[in-house]
Amino acid sequence: MEIINPGTEDYHIHSLNFSDGLNTIDEIVKYAGEIGLTKIAITDHCQAYLDKRDFHRKTYYNIINRWENIHNEVEVVFGIEADVLNAKGDVSMDIQGKSSEFILLSSHPSPPYEEDPKSITEGYLNAIERYRDRITFLAHPCSVYYQDYIDIKPIIELCNKYDIPMEFNCVNLINNKTNMKNLELVLSECHYIYVNSDAHTLNELKNARNIGMTFLKEHGYLK
Ligand SMILES: [Zn+2]
Ligand SMILES: [Zn+2]
C-alpha cells in the first residue's frame, strides 16, 4: 500500500459556495495556508446530491474560472464529489452542468443512490468500468452507509486493476462512520491510498488528517 499524499496535501474539502461546507472557498484557502497545507482540492457535492437535498444555488459554478488565490501559495484544484446513482453505474459528476478532471467517486444513502441498496456493489463496479479514465479516487468506500450491502473485495480488485486509489476518510473515522473491517481490507489490499479530511469545517481541515495519520502509524500502516 502506498499513500499518495503523506505530507501537506488534502484532496477532499467542502465549501459553502457550492455545497454543504461551513466556510467559503477563500476562507478555506486562507486557513489552509495558515496551517501549512501546500495543495488542496475543493470537492463539492455533485448536482444530483444537491438537487435531492434541496441545496439552493448561491452563485454560478462558472465563477471558479475567474477565481485566483490571492492569499498565499497554496495550490488549489476544483474537483467534484460524484455520486453513483444506480446499478448500471450512472454517475452524477457535474455541478450546474460543469464537470472537472478531478472526480471523487462516492455514494450516499438514497437519495442520490436511486435503487435497492443491495445493488450498490454492482453500481460501483459498473461505474468504475465505465468511468475509470475519469475517476481520480474512490471517496470513503468504507463508510457505514452501505456496510450491510457492499462487498468491498471486488471493488478493491477492480481499483487495483485500473490503478485507481481509494480514500482513507479521516472525518468518517473520527465520527465513527467507518466500517472498520472494510477499512482494514482497503488499507491492507489496496495499492494506492489517499488520506483526506473530507472537511466541512475549518477545525476538520486542521485536525482530521493528523488524527488519521496517527491512526495509520499506530496500526502499523506507516513506516
Ligand atoms: Zn458533504
Ligand atoms: Zn465529501
The predicted structure's pLDDT at residue 196: 98
The predicted structure's pLDDT at residue 74: 98
The predicted structure's pLDDT at residue 110: 76
| Burial per residue of 176-214, b for 16 or more beta-carbon CB atoms within 10 angstroms, e otherwise | ebbbeebbebbbeebeebbbbbbbbbbebbbbbbeebbe
- pLDDT for residue 217 is more than 80: yes
Alpha helices in the chain (DSSP H): 25-34, 47-52, 120-131, 152-161, 170-174, 180-189, 202-218
The percentage of the chain sitting over the pLDDT mark of 90, rounded to a whole number, equals 96
pTM score of the predicted model:
0.97
Distance between Cα 90 and ligand 2 center (Å)? 19
Residue 2 lies in a domain: no
Which domain, by its residues, includes 52? 8-218
Residue 1 lies in a domain: no
Distance between Cα 59 and ligand 2 center (Å)? 20
Reduced to 3 states (helix: H, G, I; strand: E, B; else coil), residue 105 is: strand
Which ligand lies nearest the alpha carbon of 82?
2
- pLDDT for residue 3 is more than 80: yes
Q: What is the chain's mean pLDDT, rounded?
A: 97
Residue 116 lies in a domain: yes
pLDDT tier for residue 69 given thresholds of 50, 70 and 90: very high
Distance between Cα 21 and ligand 1 center (Å)? 7
User: DSSP letter at 15?
Assistant: -
Residue 197 lies in a domain: yes
- pLDDT for residue 202 is more than 80: yes
Distance between Cα 14 and ligand 1 center (Å)? 6
Residue 56 lies in a domain: yes
Give the C-alpha distances (Å, rounded to integers) separating 20 from 45, 110, 166, 199.
8, 17, 22, 10
Distance between Cα 163 and ligand 1 center (Å)? 26
Residue 223 lies in a domain: no
Residue 104 lies in a domain: yes
Domain of 56: which CATH number? 3.20.20.140
Residue 170 lies in a domain: yes
Distance between Cα 48 and ligand 2 center (Å)? 14
- pLDDT for residue 223 is more than 80: no
The amino acid present at 171, given as its one-letter code, is V
Number of domains in the chain: 1
Arithmetic mean of pLDDT, 182-211: 98
Note residues around ion ligand 2 (Cβ under 5 angstroms).
81, 198
Distance between Cα 223 and ligand 1 center (Å)? 31
Arithmetic mean of pLDDT, 1-8: 96
- All cell numbers assigned to 41: 482540492
Dump pLDDT digits (tens) for 88-142: 999 999 999 999 999 999 999 878 899 999 999 999 999 999 999 999 999 999 9
